Amino acid sequence: MKRSFLLFTILIALSVLSGLLMSESSWIGKVGISLMHREYNLTKIWWQGAAAVFIVELLLYFLHSFIYSKLPVVMARMVHFILALAAAACLYLSWDDFHTTLSHQLLGWRFHYGVYLVWTGWVVTAVFFLLKKSKKTNNATGQGNRAQAVE
C-alpha cells in the first residue's frame, strides 16, 4: 500500500506539472488552439489540463492493476513490459511530431514538455507494476495459484 501511495503521489505531481506546462504554450500556440485546434482548449487552464492528465493516468493505473490481478505472473509482466515499450514509443512519436510539424512546433517547449510528462507517467506506472512483487507465485514456473488450483 505504501508503494501505491508513492506512485499516486508521483502521478499527481506529474499531472500538476504537466497541466502547468501545457497551459504555458506560446502566444501563437494559444491563438492556434483557440482558432483551429479546439480539442486542446482544456490545456489552456492549468487545473483542467492537470485533472484530465490525472484521470488518464488513473485509467492506465486501473488497466495495469486489472492485468496484474487477472493474468498469470509471467504473462502479466510481459504485458506490462509491452505497455512500457508502447508508452516509450508514444513519447518518441510525440517528440518526432513536435519537431517535424510546424503547427506543433509553434506551441512552444513548455507545452512539449507537458505532453512528454503524460507519457512519462505511463512509463512510471508500467514499470511500477513490472517491478511489483507478486503474491501469486509460489512455485518456480511462475504459473501462480491458478495452476495449483487446477492440479
State pLDDT tens for residues 9-39: 999 999 999 999 999 888 887 787 777 877 7
Q: How is residue 7 annotated by DSSP? A: H
The tens digit of pLDDT for each residue in 127-144 reads 999 999 877 654 545 555
Q: Of 116, 131, 5, 12, whose CA–CA distance to 64 is shortest?
A: 131
Domain chopping of the chain, boundaries: 2-135+142-150
pTM: 0.81
Half-sphere exposure of 130 (CA within 13 A, CB side): 14
User: Quick one: angle between helices 2-23 and 46-70, nearest 10?
Assistant: 150
- Contact status, residue 84 vs residue 125, Cβ threshold 8 Å: no
Residue 75: pLDDT band with limits 50, 70, 90? very high
Dihedral sign of CA atoms 55, 50, 43, 129 in order = negative
Task: Specify the higher pLDDT residue, 84 or 4.
Answer: 84
Average confidence (pLDDT) over 145-149: 46
Query: Residue 150's pLDDT band (boundaries 50, 70, 90)?
Result: very low
Is 48:90 a contact under the CB 8 Å cutoff? no
Q: How far apart are CA 151 and CA 104, in angstroms?
A: 57
Has residue 125 got a pLDDT over 50? yes
pLDDT tens profile 100-111 = 988 778 888 998
Using only C-alpha atoms, the chain has a radius of gyration, in whole angstroms, of 19
Average pLDDT, the chain: 86
